Structure formats: structure tokens, C-alpha cells
Structure 1
Amino acid sequence: MFTRTENFQTFLRFYPIISTLVGIHILLWLITSLPIPGSTTLLEQMVGFNFLVAEGEYWRLLTPIFMHGGFSHMLFNSFSLVLFGPALERILGKPRFLLTYFGTGVLANIATYFLEPLDYLHVGSSGAIFGLFGIFLYMVMFRKDLIDQANSQVVVTILVIGLIMTFINSNINVVAHLFGLIAGVALGPIVLQGKKGFYTSHHAGSKQSMSFRLPKLSMKHFIWGIIVLLVLVGLLFR
């Protein structure tokens, strides 16, 4: 479920939403990091700033999802999306996945607006990523037909680590993490409605479906295990 065995081209073909989101992360980081005319203005227009939201700039409830505070912030959020997003993109389908990702991200930012002071600024897709974890958590609790025990343990373990890091790290939007997670759990029964049973893994011409059962370990699995560890280290030290 969380182990990627695809090559780059296959990943792009099977997970176009994840690929596009990561591409946007990288592009916006490059634009706002390089000395390009107008890049500073772009960052200023997209950052979450509660005071300006109160002044009517409501797009700032959405745009921070695409922005990041530095290379490591962008890198580890993108890694998290690549690791944990593909299964849900295949399960939910493109429209429901987009509803989940942006819906939970915006709800997390709305909570940030109401619970943080007016001078609070924030960027990052962590609220939306925690929203995806909220969907997984709903599956673990209420839709065990969609996820096996081994992957349930992975979800719970990573979620516990992520929550611990949320509270012990500085410069973390705790409100966005928590309310993104809560929003994901709340949206679970809506976006998972009509989804039945385990998905099986097979190849039939150009068609492929997602498996939730853990495959046998290989070098690719080992490499992705290292990447997971790097993501967790990034959560700890960023």
C-alpha cells in the first residue's frame, strides 16, 4: 500500500494527481527561491496570513497548501505525498481525491484562521496530508474491509509519530495538522461511500489495480523503506 514499485513513467501514468501536485510544489519553490522578478510578490500573495484573510483575501485559505517555507519543507511534504497519496488516488478516484486533499487542507486553514492570532502566517501542505491520514484512520476504525491488518499497523504507527513530531517541533502549525486529520476522518464516510472490499494487484494489458496486501520484499522495497525513514527524520528535524 505504501511501497512504490513503479518506475517514473509508470508512476506518472497511474498517479497523475499526485504527480501534478508534487510538480507544482517544486515549480513554486523554484520560482520563489530564485531571484526572478515578481517571485517575492507571488510568495506574498499566496502565503497564509490571518490578518489579510480577515480583510477579505479568502484565496489565502487555499494557496498556502501549495507553498513551502524552504527546500526541506517542500521536499519532505512532497515525499509524504508520494508515499501516502497514491493508494488513495486509486481508491477514491481523481474527483474524490481532489475533494479530500483540498477540502481537508482548506478546512485546516480555516481552523488556523479562527484559532490562531491575526498576525499568524503559515505555508505548507501538511494540513492536507494529515487529511489523507484522516481517511486512512477512518478506514482503520470503520472500513476494515478496505485495509488489511499489516497496513493498518503502518498507518497507526506513522500517524502516532507524526502527531508526536507535531507537538515537540517548533514552527509547526499544530492547528492545521490536528484539524486536517479531523477533517479527513469526517470526510471518510462520504468519499469512501460505495467502495467495496480489497483491491487486488494484477496486470491485464494496460490495466493495473492497487493491492493493499504487502508484497514480498525486494531491493525496491528496501530503497523505499530508506525514503520513509528520511521522511520521518525530516519531520523530526525540519
Structure 2
Amino acid sequence: MITNYYEKHPITSLIILINVMMSLVVLFTGGFDNLVNLVEWGAIYPPFISINNEWYRLLTSMFLHGSLLHVFFNMYVLFYLGALLERILSKWLFLTFYLVTGLLASFAVYALGNPNVVTVGASGAIFGIIGALFIMTYLKPYYFNPYFVRSIRSLTFINVALTFIFPQVSFYGHIGGLLSGIVMYFLLVKPKITNA
């Protein structure tokens, strides 16, 4: 089963593996509650980006999480929805999509968020995936069964609502990821499925 999943979704599998490995590294080198530890491993901390030009944090923060529950839920969604989008796009286009939406979400956090807050998580890129699939359920609904169409729309509305409700959630990361995913749908996904 694992081998079959990897063969069909190599990029999704690799991203999940890196996230899990980095979560274990953080756990055993100081823990998730240690903000200094998270920053040392590459979390977004705006002053270090603007003052020290540590722009790599926009990328590395995408593979870090704030708790085991945080990484579990993100990887659970990625396991299903990331795999679906990878099958639609092909592995290299999916990798491009994932990195671009994640980086844009990270930049939104850096540029618009609280400069004193440490931010980590794959949520920006995952919201990008959700955004693309959400738009696709309206523009290309025949790609999915009716149950999936209802599910992805409900998932989108619920997660956007939770973004506004819970203060500990990265508002700009989630909304930035969602909007960048919608834009990337038109740049990458739509041309791919139109030419298929």
C-alpha cells in the first residue's frame, strides 16, 4: 500500500516525509513550545528576515509545525488532497504549485502579519491546494463525483471560518495560501486539464 501510494504520488509522499522528519527533529532538540528552537530550525520570525535577510525562512517554515497535532492534521489533509492534485497536475507541476503557494503564503505572513510572532506550518501550501480544488469544483465539476464537490466546498468554508475564529491560527498564511491557490489554478491547473 505504501509503495503503491509513493509510486502514484512521489512528491506528496516526499513532502509528508520531510514534514514528519522535521517535526521529530524539533521534538527531540528542544520541543515545540520552545520558540527559540523553532526559530533556529527555520521558523518565520520577521525581524530576522528584514534585518538579517534570512529569506530562506519563507521556505523552511513550510516544513515545521507547532505541535504533533498540528503536523498530523496538516499531513492528513495533504495525504488526500495533495495526492489528488498531484495526479491532476503531474509531479513536477505539483511541486511547483506547492512551493509557489507556500512561499506566497509565507510572504503574506512576513509582510502583513505581527512582526513579533513566530510562525510555522504547511497550512499556507495546503490552503493553496484547497483553493485550487475549490475553484475547480465550480469551473470543472465533472472531474469529481458529487460527494467530493460538496466535501471540498464544505471543507473550504469551514476552514476559512476557523481562520477568522481562532486567533492562534495564521490568518495571513491561510488566506494568502487560499488566494495564491486560486491564482495558481488559472496559471497551472486550468491549462493542464484543458490540454489533457
TM (norm. structure 1) is: 0.74
How many Å separate the matches in 2 of 1:160 and 1:51? 33
Equivalent residue runs for 1:80-119 within 5 Å: 80-119=77-116
Shift of 1:42: 7.2
Q: Note the alpha carbon deviations across 1:195-225, whole angstroms, 9 max, x for none.
A: 1499xxxxxxxxxxxxxxxxxxxxxxxxxxx
1:127 aligns with 2:124: yes
Runs of 4+ in 1 over 2 A off after TM superposition: 40-43, 141-150
> Once the two structures are aligned, what percentage of the paired residues are identical?
29
Counterpart residue identity of residue 180, structure 1? G
Q: Which runs of 5+ in 1 are unaligned?
A: 1-6, 199-238
Shift of 1:43: 4.8
Equivalent residue runs for 1:58-207 within 5 Å: 58-192=55-189, 193-196=191-194
Q: Is the 8 A contact 2:39 2:118 kept in 1?
A: no
1:24 aligns with 2:18: yes
In our comparison, the structure showing a higher alpha carbon Rg is 1
Q: Which runs of 5+ in 2 are unaligned?
A: 31-35
Give the root-mean-square deviation of aligned CA atoms: 2.1
Q: Note the alpha carbon deviations across 1:90-136, whole angstroms, 9 max, x for none.
A: 11011111111111111011111111132121000001000001110
Shift of 1:44: 1.5
Q: Is the 8 A contact 2:9 2:91 kept in 1?
A: no
Shift of 1:149: 3.2
The match for 2:33 is none
Shift of 1:65: 0.4
How many Å separate the matches in 2 of 1:59 and 1:95? 21
